[in-house]
């Protein structure tokens, strides 16, 4: 009797292992297929740019996050430019700024991509801006408002031990970088709000 039970569980274990392997294969195939479809989607934009060196060689640079993952944004074909007031309304209801900033998991470019995609899902045209600010790589958002033109927004949130409040900021990137809070005093953990030199700026729409 004991041997029969043992043989039953051995067969059950083999069956279970087979099911797990099949599930893993299906999962991996689905993930790879999803990545391929995402890159083939005409409304997906790779955050990348090319540089031509003095010797004529062209090098392609990809914007990456903390885990070195290449970053993409997804545009909506129905997205439109909105007024400054509509933009502020969107920012106040969007909670991306409440996410935790973590150097190894979720950094400024993750915030910027999340805000972009959230805006486009609401048919608000948005962009992502990357650049070197005071010697530090940084990413934020840009919106082309119908009444005030280009408005730069930095929604990078606080660290785990930071106070809980709104971290949405209007940014100024004309040569020198500075930020001002959208609704209240929003201390900035990552780049302070002093005049830091802005260089190597790239805009993605």
Q: State pLDDT tens for residues 46-80.
A: 999 998 888 889 999 999 999 999 999 999 999 99
Number of domains in the chain: 2
Q: Do 26 and 122 share a structural domain? A: no
Q: Do 7 and 101 share a structural domain? A: no
First to last CA, the chain: 70
For residues 204 and 142, the answer to whether their CB atoms sit within 8 Å is no
pTM of the model: 0.76
Q: Measured between alpha carbons, how far is 194 from 202 in angstroms, rounded to an integer? A: 21
* Eight-state DSSP code of residue 8: H
**Closest CA relative to residue 126, chosen from 137, 114, 109:** 114
Q: Do 70 and 55 share a structural domain? A: yes
Q: Which residue is listed with tokens 């007031």?
A: 85
Which tokens in the block code for residue 101? 């900033």
Q: Measured between alpha carbons, how far is 91 from 160 in angstroms, rounded to an integer? A: 21
For residues 201 and 173, the answer to whether their CB atoms sit within 8 Å is yes
Q: Do 57 and 33 share a structural domain? A: no
Print the domain residue range for 140: 44-204
Q: Do 155 and 115 share a structural domain? A: yes
Q: Do 105 and 16 share a structural domain? A: no
Q: State pLDDT tens for residues 70-110.
A: 999 999 999 999 999 999 999 999 999 999 999 999 999 99
Q: State pLDDT tens for residues 114-164.
A: 999 999 999 999 999 999 988 889 999 999 999 999 999 999 999 999 888
Q: Do 65 and 32 share a structural domain? A: no
Q: State pLDDT tens for residues 8-61.
A: 444 545 544 443 333 333 333 333 344 445 557 889 999 999 988 888 899 999
Q: Measured between alpha carbons, how far is 69 from 72 in angstroms, rounded to an integer? A: 10
Which secondary structure element, helix H or strand E, spans residue 20, and what is its range? helix 2-40
Find the Cα–Cα–Cα–Cα dihedral 114, 115, 117, 122, rounded to 10°. Answer: 140
Q: Measured between alpha carbons, how far is 30 from 105 in angstroms, rounded to an integer? A: 24
* Eight-state DSSP code of residue 87: H
């Amino acid at each position: 009797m004991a041997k029969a039970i043992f043989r039953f569980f051995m067969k059950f274990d083999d069956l279970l292992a087979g099911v797990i392997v099949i599930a893993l294969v299906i999962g991996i195939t689905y993930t790879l297929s999803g990545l391929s479809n995402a890159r083939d989607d005409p409304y997906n934009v790779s955050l990348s740019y090319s540089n031509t060196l003095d010797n004529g060689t062209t090098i392609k640079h990809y914007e990456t996050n903390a885990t070195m993952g290449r970053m993409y944004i997804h545009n909506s074909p129905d997205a439109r430019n909105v007024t400054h007031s509509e933009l502020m309304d969107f920012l106040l209801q969007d909670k991306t700024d409440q996410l935790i900033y973590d150097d190894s998991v979720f950094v400024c470019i993750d915030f910027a991509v999340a805000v972009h995609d959230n805006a486009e899902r609401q048919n608000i045209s948005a962009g992502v801006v990357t650049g070197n600010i005071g010697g530090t790589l940084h990413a934020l958002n840009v919106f082309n408002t119908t009444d005030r033109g280009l408005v730069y927004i930095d929604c990078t949130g606080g660290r785990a031990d930071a106070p809980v409040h709104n971290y949405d900021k209007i940014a100024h990137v004309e040569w020198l970088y500075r930020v001002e809070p959208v609704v209240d005093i929003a201390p900035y953990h990552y780049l302070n709000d002093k005049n830091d030199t802005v260089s190597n700026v790239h805009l993605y729409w």
